[in-house]
Amino acid sequence: MSQEPPCRARVTPADLAREADRAVIYGAVLAAQRPGVRLKPAIAEPALALVPAVRAYLNGDDGPLAEAALAYARACGAEAFLTAKRRPAREG
C-alpha cells in the first residue's frame, strides 16, 4: 500500500515542479503587494528574486521585467492568477 495521500496519486515529477513554481509566483505577488511579508523558507529566495519582475507587471509595465514575470507565470500555469492581480491601465 502506498504511503502517498490520495491527492498525490499519479502526480509526476513535472507536476510537482510546476506546483513549486506556482508557489514561487504566488509568493512573489504577495511580497510585491505586501513588502516585508514573511514567506516560507522553501520559496522565499526565488520568490523575492522574482519580485521586481512581478511588481513591474502588476504596475502595468510592458517592458522586459514585466514580460519575464508573465513568461514565468505562463510556464507554471499561473498566468490567470497573475493577470487577475494586475492593476488596470490608467487612461489618460
68 falls within a domain: yes
91 falls within a domain: no
pLDDT per residue as tens digits for the range 38-83: 999 999 999 999 999 999 999 999 999 999 999 999 999 999 999 9
HSE-up (13 A, CA, CB side) for residue 72: 26
When divided into structural domains, the chain yields a total of 1
2 falls within a domain: no
90 falls within a domain: no
5 falls within a domain: no
62 falls within a domain: yes
40 falls within a domain: yes
What is the span of the domain harbouring residue 34?
A: 10-85
Around Cβ 40, how many Cβ atoms within 10 Å?
A: 9
> What pTM was estimated for this model as a whole?
0.83
60 falls within a domain: yes
Using DSSP, state whether 51 is helix, strand or coil: helix
